[in-house]
Structure 1
Amino acid sequence: MPSPIPTADDLIRNGYIRRRRAIGTMMALIMFACAALSVFVTTAIVVILVEESWMFFREVPILDFLTGTMWTPVFTDAQFGVLPLLVSTLQVAFLALLIAIPMGTVMAIYLSEYASTAVRETIKPALELLEAVPTVVYGYFALIVMTPFLQKFIPGLAGINLLVPSIILGIMILPYVVSVSEDAMRAVPNGLREGAYALGMSRWQVAFRVVLPGAMSGVTAAYILGMSRAVGETMVVAIAAGQNPNLTFDPREGAATITAYIVQMSLGDLPRGTLAYSTIFSTGLLLFVITLMFNIAGFYLRKRFREVY
C-alpha cells in the first residue's frame, strides 16, 4: 500500500520538530562547553600554582614555611615563615564573620518571616547594591573615614590596623549572607510554619526553632561563602591593614595578609624565576588550600544538615 502523500501541515510540523531538536542539541553543546571551560580554568589555576610553587618548596621545607614566625623573602637574610601572613588573614576573616553572621542571620530572618512583600522587595535589592561598590572604595573609606572615627573611642588603635578592615569586610560580605540565607529560609515549606503555629508557638519561636533549623544547610552555605569571600579579599586589607608582615593577635595593630602580600609582590619589581618571586605562588597556593578546606567543610555541613521536603 503506497504511503500517504504528506500535506503542507505535516511538512511544517516535521520542519518545526527538526528545528527544535537542532536547537536543543546546540544548547546542550553550548552548556557542556561552558561547564567544561569552568573545569579547565580551575584545573589550569591549580596546575600553575603547584608548578610555580614547586621550585619554592624544593628550597624551603614546608614545615618551616607553615611554622616560621618571620616573613622577609626580599631581605638579604631571607626568612620564609608564612605564619604572620596566615594569622593576619584568618584574624581578619574571623572578625568579619563575627559581624556578618549574627547581623546577616537576623536580617535574613526578618526578611523571611517578618517583613511584608513591599518591604522585602525594597530592602533586599538595596542591600545587594553593596556588592556593586568597588572594593577599593571600601578600602579608602576604612582608611580615611572609619579609622579616624574609631580612634576617638578605641585606645591604642593605630592608623593602619586590622580591626577597621575587618569591620568593613563584615559589611561587604553581609549581602552574601543575607541573600543566600533568606532564600534558604523562604524555601522551607509553609506546612512546617503552620504546624508550629497550630502548636501554639510564637512568631520568633517559629523563626528560630523551625525555620532556621530547616534551612540550616542553606544558611551554612551562606556562612561558608562569606568566609571564602573574606579570606580572599584583597584591596581593603591592602589599603587599610598595612603591608608589614607582623605576627600579632592584637587587631588594633597593622599587619599584612596573604592577599596584601601578593599585591605588594606582584608590582613587577621581582625578577621572574627567583625564590622571592615564587613566594607569590606559594602563598597563593596556601590561600587556595584554605578556601578549598572551607568549601569542603561547607559541603559536609550541607550534607549533614540537609533537609529533604
Structure 2
Amino acid sequence: MQIWLTLLAVIVAVGGLYYAGRSRAFAVTNGDATILHSNPAFHGGMVVISGMLPAVFVLLGWTIFSRYFADASVSALLGEEFNALSELEQGAFLRSAFGLSQSQQIGDVSSLQNKAIEGYSAFFASTTLILQLVLAALIFGGGYLAWRQIRTDLRARQFVERAVSFALIAASGVAILTTLGIVLSLIFESINFFQKVPFFEFLFGTHWSPQSAFEGVGSDTAHRNSEVFGAIPIFAGTLLITTIAILVAAPVGLMSAIYLSDYATPNVRAIAKPMLEILAGIPTVVYGFFAALTVAPFLRNSGESIGLSVSSESALAAGLVMGIMIIPFVSSLSDDVINSVPQSLRDGSAGLGATKSETIRRVILPAALPGIVSALMLAISRAIGETMIVVMAAGLSANLTANPLEAVTTVTVQIVTLLVGDQEFDSAKTLAAFALGLVLFCVTLMLNIVALRVIQKYREQYD
C-alpha cells in the first residue's frame, strides 16, 4: 500500500509541477505563446526537472548509504555485548537483525537480537518522516525557483534537451560501469584464487574435485589444491554439450528461417513463426524436466535396445534439449536477416535464370552471412551459459570424456555448486567460482569479437 501511495504522490507532484510551469509560460505572454522562445511544454518540463532532480539525487544517496547509518546507530545502541563479538560475527548479526526487521516475521530471538530489531525499526521509522519532508521541500523549492525564472526569452527547450541528453549519457554510463564492476570483481577474486591454486594447473589440470580442497597457506597447500582444481573436465563437458546443441539448432533454425522467409505463404508464416518463437519463452526448468523425464529415458532405452550403454544423465540428452531451446535464437534472427536482403538481388538472380534454391544458396545466404554468424554466436553464448538443463539432464560429474552418452558437467553448473552451501567466502572452493566465471566471460567475449570481425569483413560486399 505504501508503494502505491508513494507512486501516486510522485505522479501528482510531476503533474502539478508541469501544469504550474506551463501555466506560467502562458501567463507571462498573456496567452500568446508565439512570442515565447520555447514551447510552453518545455517550460513545464523545465520546472519538473528542476523540482524532481535534486529529490532524486537525495533519494538515491539515501538508498545507498542509509544501511550504513542504520548499522552505526544500532551498533552504538547494543553496547558492550555486541562489541565483544568478532568483526565477522558482528556483520552476520546485523544482517540477520536487519532482515528480521524488514520481514516483520520475528520468531524466537535473543534479547540482543530483539534490541537490534527494535533499533532498526525505530531508526527507519524516524528517518522516513524526515526524508519525506526533505524530499517535499526539495521538490517544491526547486520547482518554485524554476517557476520564478520563466520569461519570454528563457531557453527552456535547451535546458530540457540538455537534461535529457545527460540522462541518456548517465544510463549508458550505468551500463558501462556495471560491466566494468563485474569484470573487476571477477578479476580481483580470481587473483585471490590463483594465489591458492597455480594458474596453469587450474587451466590445464585434468582432475576436478573441489570438495577435496585444502585450506591454509604456503606452497604445499597450493600444490595439493592444484591436484583437485583442474578445470579441463568441466571445460570439455561445456564444449561437448554446446557442440551437440549447436549441431541441433544451427541446421534446424537456419532451414526454418529459409522456409519462413522464401517458401512459406503469408498465412503459414503468420502461424508458424510465432509458434516457433514460443520455444524461447518456455522456462529452462521446464526444458530440464523434459530432458530428465522424457529424453534421457528414451535415449537410455533406445541405447539398451541396440546394445549401447547410455547413462541416465548424459551429455546427449542435455545437448539435444538445449539445441531445441536455442532454435528460436537462430531461426528468428536469421529470418530477419534474410528478409533484409534487398529484393533487387533476388530479382537479378531470377533474371539470370537461377532457380529459387540457387538464388538462396548463391545470393541470399552469402549476403546474409554476417547476420547468420551473429545469430549462431548468440545461440552458442546462450548454450554455454545454460545451467538448469545441464543440472537436471547431464548431472554434476566432472568426467573428462568425449562420449556424449556419459554424464558430464559444465562451467555454469559448477559455479552454482561452488557457491551453494555454508562455506567461507575466501576459501579456494568459493573463489574457484570466480575463476570459472572469468574464463566463461573471456570465452563469450571472444565469440562476440569473432562475430564482429565476420560482420566487418563481409558487410560491405552487399551494402
Q: TM-score, normalised by structure 1?
A: 0.93
Cα offset for 1:192? 0.4
Structure 2 partner of 1:38: 175
Q: Give the letter aligned to residue 445 of structure 2.
A: L
Structure 2 partner of 1:100: 249
1:272 to 2:425 alignment: yes
Cα deviation, 1:54-97, whole Å, max 9, x if unaligned, reads: 11112222211111100112215641110000000011111111
Assess, with a 3 A threshold, how the Cα gap between structure 1 residues 242 and 303 changes in structure 2: closer, same or farther. same
Q: Give the letter aligned to residue 159 of structure 1.
A: S
Cα deviation, 1:14-60, whole Å, max 9, x if unaligned, reads: 42584565554444333322221111111111011011111111222
Determine helix, strand or coil for the equivalent of 2:302: coil
Check the 8 A contact 1:238/1:263 in 2, yes or no. Answer: no
Structure 2 partner of 1:28: 165
Q: Give the letter aligned to residue 179 of structure 2.
A: T
Check the 8 A contact 1:238/1:259 in 2, yes or no. Answer: no
1:240 to 2:407 alignment: no
Structure 1 partner of 2:263: 114
Alignment of 1:82-161 (within 5 A): 82-154=231-303, 155-161=308-314
Cα deviation, 1:144-177, whole Å, max 9, x if unaligned, reads: 1111112222221110111011001111111011
* CA RMSD between the two structures: 2.0
Decide which moves more: 13-22 or 191-200: 13-22
Q: Give the letter aligned to residue 10 of structure 1.
A: T
1:215 to 2:368 alignment: yes
Assess, with a 3 A threshold, how the Cα gap between structure 1 residues 238 and 200 changes in structure 2: closer, same or farther. same
Decide which moves more: 266-275 or 205-214: 266-275
Q: Find the aligned partners of 2:266 and 2:37 in 1 and give their Cα distance.
A: 44
Check the 8 A contact 1:185/1:215 in 2, yes or no. Answer: yes
Q: Find the aligned partners of 2:268 and 2:405 in 1 and give their Cα distance.
A: 38
Assess, with a 3 A threshold, how the Cα gap between structure 1 residues 38 and 9 changes in structure 2: closer, same or farther. closer
Determine helix, strand or coil for the equivalent of 2:371: helix
1:187 to 2:340 alignment: yes
1:204 to 2:357 alignment: yes
Check the 8 A contact 2:33/2:40 in 1, yes or no. Answer: no
Aligned length in residues: 305
The counterpart of 1:8, out of the listed 26, 32, 35, is: 32
Determine helix, strand or coil for the equivalent of 1:80: coil
Q: Find the aligned partners of 1:201 and 1:25 in 2 and give their Cα distance.
A: 55
Assess, with a 3 A threshold, how the Cα gap between structure 1 residues 117 and 290 changes in structure 2: closer, same or farther. same
Unaligned runs of 5+ in 1: none
Check the 8 A contact 1:185/1:212 in 2, yes or no. Answer: yes
Decide which moves more: 11-20 or 229-238: 11-20
Cα deviation, 1:196-247, whole Å, max 9, x if unaligned, reads: 0000111111112111110111001000000100111111111111111111
Q: Find the aligned partners of 1:136 and 1:24 in 2 and give their Cα distance.
A: 45
Q: Find the aligned partners of 1:52 and 1:294 in 2 and give their Cα distance.
A: 24
Q: Give the letter aligned to residue 118 of structure 1.
A: N
Q: Give the letter aligned to residue 70 of structure 1.
A: H
Check the 8 A contact 1:242/1:255 in 2, yes or no. Answer: yes
Determine helix, strand or coil for the equivalent of 2:400: coil
Structure 1 partner of 2:190: 53
Q: Find the aligned partners of 1:14 and 1:42 in 2 and give their Cα distance.
A: 39
Check the 8 A contact 1:66/1:83 in 2, yes or no. Answer: yes
Structure 2 partner of 1:63: 200
Unaligned runs of 5+ in 2: 1-28, 44-156, 214-223
> Higher helix share goes to which structure?
2
Structure 1 partner of 2:452: 299
Check the 8 A contact 2:238/2:384 in 1, yes or no. Answer: yes
Check the 8 A contact 1:89/1:257 in 2, yes or no. Answer: yes
Alignment of 1:276-287 (within 5 A): 276-287=429-440
Alignment of 1:245-260 (within 5 A): 245-260=398-413
Cα offset for 1:293? 1.1
Check the 8 A contact 1:70/1:80 in 2, yes or no. Answer: yes
Q: Find the aligned partners of 1:223 and 1:143 in 2 and give their Cα distance.
A: 26
Cα offset for 1:121? 2.3
Larger relative contact order (C-alpha < 8 A, sep ≥ 6)?
1
